[in-house]
A = this chain, B = another copy of it.
Amino acid sequence: MAAQRSRRRIPEATVARLPVYLRILGEQFEIGVANISSEELAELAGVNAAKVRKDLSYLGSYGTRGVGYDVEFLVYQIRRELGLTHDWPVVIVGAGNLGQALAGYNGFGDRGFPVGGIVDIDDSKVGSVVGGVRVRHLDEIKQVVQARNISIGVIATPGAAAQDAADSLVAAGVTSILNFTPTVINVPHGISVGKVDLAVELQILAYHEQRRANAAQGSVMQSLSGLLIPGESRRGASA
């Protein structure tokens, strides 16, 4: 009776890398690669080979020593572990520029996340069709979510409305939220939240740019004081 079922807990850092491996493996499979070593996969994913092996080891012992991993089988196992064996329809809240772009973007549904519904609070948006889906009113979100058994919601409203949107999603029964607004949202315990913030990414890059600029200036100063070894010019390792 011992349920030998998965129930391994996979480290969050690994979960974030599995989708990257998955995509690469899918591409390799497409071009006829049947087998791949941790070294090759690591190269393609831009990470350390030992890390790849440890990551994959959380799925089970699916490699063959001296040979590598069967690409097709590995794709199946990762998909299984990530819960990608079936589609996860999503509901988008906010049918503005971003909401419409997302709804119209196929790379969304192609990856198993079809747009199951779009809602907006603005009556002038309600009724229009974007990406083949008719925009419904925010008030109907519960019907939309329950009709297609949706558990993932995407927030694409202005930042000021993000908390409202999150509350509506949770009330409608959604248990995972991807937030595209810059606003931090509060959700009840047990709800997962992912965040995509353009400005944050750019600001991180700006920080590294500035460091480089400062370091370069520092180097010049050192150079002037005769301390910089030629050929060893400083460049922040940040890639």
On A, residues with C-beta under 8 Å from B are 3, 5-7, 10, 15-16, 18-20, 22-24, 44-46, 81-84, 88, 90, 97-98, 101-102, 104-105, 107-108, 111-113, 151-152, 175-178, 182, 184, 186-194, 196-214, 218, 221, 235-239
Contact = CB atoms under 8 A, between A and B. Distances in A.
A47 to B, nearest CB: 9
Contacts of A191: 238-239
B214 A192 contact: no
Contact of A204 (B16, B108, B186, B213): B16
Contact of A189 (B20, B197, B205, B239): B239
Contacts of A45: 184
Nearest to A211: B83
Given A19-B200, A83-B211, A84-B206, 7 more contacts: A22-B203, A176-B205, A189-B239, A192-B209, A192-B236, A192-B239, A196-B201
